[in-house]
Amino acid sequence: MDIERIRQEFPLLQERRKGKPIIYFDTACQSLRPQSVIDAINGYYLKSSACMGRSMHYLAAEVTKGCDESRKTIARFLNASKKEEILFTRNTTEGINLVAHSLQFKKGDVILVSAKEHNSNLLPWQQLVQKQGAILKIIPSKPDNTFDLESFEKLLSGGVKLVAIGSTSNLDGLTIPMATIVKNAHAAGALVLLDAAQTAPHQKIDVKALNVDFLAFSGHKMMGPSGTGILYGKYTLLEQMDPFMVGGETVSSTTYESGIFLPPPEKFEAGLQDYAGIIGLEAAVKYLQKIGFDSIQKQEHLLNAAISDGLMDVPGITLIGPHDPALRGGIFSFYKQGVDSHQIALMLDQVANIEVRSGQHCVHSWFHAHKLAGSVRVSFYFYNTLDEVHTLLENFHQIAKVL
C-alpha cells in the first residue's frame, strides 16, 4: 500500500489542531471516511434526493437503482446466496434487536453469549429473559481472554436455541474460531448470530462458507456513513420471521383490519430509509475491496506489534487479551494500575492530538466481573502509520512519568 497517497483521500487526516496533525486511534468506535464515500453521500442529495420505490419519476428510479446496486454489492461482499438476504438497518444494534424481536422464542429457550459481549449483543437477550422467560447463559473466556471452546461445547448440551456472539471483540481485538463455533452449534440444533461489527472492516467474511444463520455489522466502522448497517439472514429463516417494525413499504396492501406483508427484505425495512447512507455504504464497501483485506491485516499487525513492543515494558501497564499482537487485530487495550483511563486519554488528546478511547467500551459486564474501572483502547486501521505509533509512544512515556 501507498499509505501516504491513501491518507490524502481522508479529509480529516489533513486537518490541524493547534498546529499539529490529528492522530486518530479510535477506529473501533468509528472509522474515518474517504472522499469517495463523502462524494457518494453528497451525490444523493445533489443529484436525486428522492424516495426509493414510491414514485414513478426519473429521480425516484435513480434512487431505486442506486439502493438496489448497493444491496447487490453487499451481497457479493458477504457471498450471500441472493440479494434478498441483505437487510438495511441503522447499525449492528438494530440488526441484533431485529433477530431478538422477530425470531420466535418461547419460555425456556436457551441463548448463549460470550463473556465479552458488547451491550448491543447482551441487552436484547436480557430483555428476552425478562419478558419471555428465555434463559441466558454466558460462555466463559480462558485466563488470557481467548475463546474457551471446551466450555462452549459443554453449554451446547442444554437445549440451546441461539448462539449470539461477537466474532471479533471490541474489547481486545480477538477473533473467535467462527467456523468451528457455527459447525458445533448446528450439530447441537442451535442457530448462530454473529455480531461482526469489528470483523467486517478487517477480515473477509463468507457467509456461505461459514454457513452462519445471521450476521450483523455497521457501516460507520468500515468507512461508511453513520446510521447504516446490515443484517444478513438465511432467506428461509427471514421468510419465517415476523416483521420487527411495521409501516410504509412493508406491505403490498392494507384494509382497516389487516395488511399483506411483502417478502424479505421489504417486510423488515419499514418507512423511508437512509438512501444517501445506503448508497454511501456501497461506496465504502468498494473502497474496502480496493484496499484489500490482506493489506489491511498486514498493516494492523505491523502497528500492533510496534505498540506492543513500546508499551508492554512500562511499569504498571496491564494488557487486556493475548500477548501475541497477531491475535488482537487492530486493537491494543490496556490499563495502568492506580490511574484513571480517562485521564490518560485526555492528556494524549490535549498534548498531542492523539485520539483514543477510554472507559468500559460498552462491555461493562466484563469490566464489572473483573472489578476494573476501565481501560485505554488504542484502535487503528490501514490509514495509520508507524510514525503515528511512535508519536503515541513518545507522548505516553512522558505522561506515564507524570502519572
CA pair distance 329, 301, nearest whole angstrom: 6
Alpha helices in 272-385 (DSSP H): 275-291, 293-311, 341-352, 364-369
For the question of residue 362 being annotated catalytic, the response is yes
Residue 217 burial (C-beta neighbours within 10 Å; 0-12, 13-18, 19+): buried
Looking up cell 447482551 gives: 122
Do residues 25 and 379 lie in contact, with contact meaning Cβ atoms separated by under 8 Å? yes
d(CA 281, CA 146): 32
- Amino acid making up residue 173: G
* Three-class secondary structure of residue 123 per DSSP: helix
Whether 52 contacts 284, CB under 8 Å: no
Which of the 8 DSSP states describes residue 52?
S
58-78 vs 275-291: helix axis angle to the nearest 10? Answer: 40
Rounded CA-CA distance 107/223 in Å is 40
231 Ramachandran zone, left/alpha/beta (phi>0; psi -120 to 50): beta
Cell readout for 348 is 494524549
* Burial tier of 362 (Cβ tally within 10 Å: 0-12, 13-18, 19+): middle
Catalytic residues: 362
